[in-house]
C-alpha cells in the first residue's frame, strides 16, 4: 500500500475535541416538549442555531433588556400574527417595528380572515376571481374594499385636529379603534408598546392616504423624523437592548441602525432566509452588523437561524418565553 496516498485518505488526528457529542432526541418514554427543544443544541445544523437563539432570548429577559421585535408583513399575513399579539399581551416586547403591510393586514384580519390556498394556482384565474395570492394564502379583494371604507372613516378622526401626524400615532390610534384580542395593533395600544413603521406608504395605507389627500385635505401629511428621534433616544436611554428580527428588510435595519447610536445592540437573534452573497441588507448576517457597530461584539450575544419563520418562530417563543 502506498503510505503517502493512505495518509491522504485516512490522515488521522491527534487532537481530542472537548465539544459536546452530536445527539438528538431519542423519543423514548414519555414525550417532553422542552427536552426536545433542549436536544436541538446537539442536533446540529439549524436546530443548533435555534437552540442558540432560544438561549440568547432568555439572556435578554434575564438582563431585563428592552426587547425590540421586528417583522415583515408576511409574518402578519400568516398565523404568526397571533403569536406576535400574544408576546405583546404578555409583556415580553417593548418595541415593535414592522411594515405598512403588517399594519393593513392586521386591521383587515380583525373583520375578515385570510384563507388557506395553494402554491400552484392559476394566477390569471385568481385575478379574474378577485383573489390575491400570498404564497399558499389567499386574500379576496373585497378585504381591501372594506379596508378603504374603514380607513376613510378613521382618517376623518385621525386628522381632525392635527393635519400632520406620525406613523406611531397612526398605529396607536388604529389599535385603539380595533376590537380583536388577536390584533397586534390592539395589544400594542393597550400595553403601550410603540409600533414604528418607517415605510408607512409602502402598502394600501399609502394608496388610500394619497386618495384621501387628493379628495379631502391637501395639508395632511405623515412625518417620520419625530419617530426616528424617539426610537434613537429610547435605545440610548435603555441600559440593555435585545433584537429579535423575524424576516429582514426595513424593520430589521431600522432596529440595528438606531441601536448604532448607543454603541450597538447587546443581543440579537435573526430568523432569515436572506442570502448573504448578494450583499443586500436582507441577506446580511448579524456579524456583518458588528462591523458597522450596530450589534456589540461579544462571543455569545447574537445568532442567526437560517430558516423560514413559520417553522421556527413558534418554537423560539415556546422555548424562550413560555
**Residue 177 CA: distances (Å) to CA of 155, 162, 180:** 12, 18, 10
Beta pairing partners, 269: 244, 303
- The answer to whether residue 294 is catalytic is yes
Check: CB of residue 26 under 8 Å from CB of residue 32: no
**Residue 125 CA: distances (Å) to CA of 78, 129, 137, 301:** 23, 6, 15, 49
Contacts of 104 (CB under 8 A, 6+ apart): 73, 147, 203, 204, 205
Tell me the C-alpha distance between 263 and 97, whole Å: 20
Question: All 3 cell numbers of residue 211?
Answer: 386618495
Contacts of 16 (CB under 8 A, 6+ apart): none
Cβ atoms within 10 Å of 127's Cβ, excluding its own: 12
Check: CB of residue 200 under 8 Å from CB of residue 229: no
What is the edge-to-edge ordering of all strands in the sheet holding 267-272? 195-196, 95-97, 66-71, 241-246, 267-272, 302-306
Beta pairing partners, 116: 137
Task: Tell me which residues are annotated as active site.
Answer: 294
Amino acid at each position: 500500500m502506498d503510505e503517502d496516498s493512505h495518509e491522504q485518505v485516512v490522515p488521522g488526528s491527534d487532537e481530542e475535541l472537548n465539544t459536546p457529542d452530536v445527539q438528538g432526541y431519542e423519543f423514548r418514554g414519555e414525550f417532553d416538549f422542552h427536552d426536545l427543544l433542549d436536544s436541538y443544541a446537539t442536533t446540529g445544523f439549524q436546530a443548533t442555531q435555534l437552540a442558540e437563539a432560544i438561549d440568547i432570548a432568555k439572556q435578554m429577559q434575564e438582563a431585563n433588556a428592552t426587547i425590540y421585535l421586528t417583522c415583515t408583513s408576511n409574518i402578519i399575513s400568516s398565523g404568526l400574527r397571533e403569536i406576535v399579539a400574544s408576546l405583546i399581551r404578555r409583556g415580553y416586547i417593548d418595541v415593535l417595528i414592522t411594515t405598512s403591510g403588517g399594519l393593513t393586514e392586521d386591521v383587515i384580519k380583525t373583520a375578515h380572515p385570510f384563507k388557506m390556498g395553494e402554491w400552484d394556482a392559476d394566477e390569471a384565474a385568481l385575478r379574474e376571481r378577485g383573489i390575491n395570492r400570498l404564497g399558499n394564502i389567499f386574500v379576496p379583494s373585497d378585504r381591501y374594499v372594506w379596508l378603504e371604507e374603514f380607513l376613510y372613516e378613521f382618517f376623518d378622526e385621525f386628522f381632525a385636529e392635527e393635519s400632520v401626524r406620525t406613523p406611531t400615532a397612526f398605529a396607536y390610534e388604529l389599535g385603539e379603534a380595533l376590537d380583536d384580542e388577536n390584533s397586534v395593533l390592539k395589544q400594542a395600544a393597550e400595553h403601550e408598546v410603540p409600533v414604528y413603521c418607517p415605510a408607512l406608504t409602502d402598502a394600501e395605507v399609502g394608496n388610500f392616504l394619497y386618495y384621501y389627500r387628493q379628495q379631502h385635505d391637501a395639508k395632511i401629511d405623515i412625518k417620520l423624523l419625530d419617530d426616528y428621534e424617539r426610537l434613537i433616544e429610547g435605545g440610548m436611554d435603555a441600559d440593555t437592548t435585545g433584537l429579535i428580527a423575524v424576516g429582514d428588510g426595513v424593520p430589521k435595519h431600522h432596529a440595528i441602525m438606531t441601536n448604532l447610536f448607543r454603541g450597538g445592540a447587546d443581543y440579537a437573534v435573526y430568523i432569515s432566509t436572506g442570502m448573504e452573497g448578494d450583499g443586500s441588507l436582507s441577506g446580511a448576517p448579524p456579524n456583518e452588523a458588528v462591523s458597522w457597530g450596530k450589534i456589540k461584539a461579544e462571543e455569545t450575544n447574537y445568532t442567526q437561524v437560517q430558516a423560514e419563520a413559520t417553522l421556527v418562530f413558534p418554537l423560539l417563543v415556546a422555548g424562550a418565553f413560555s
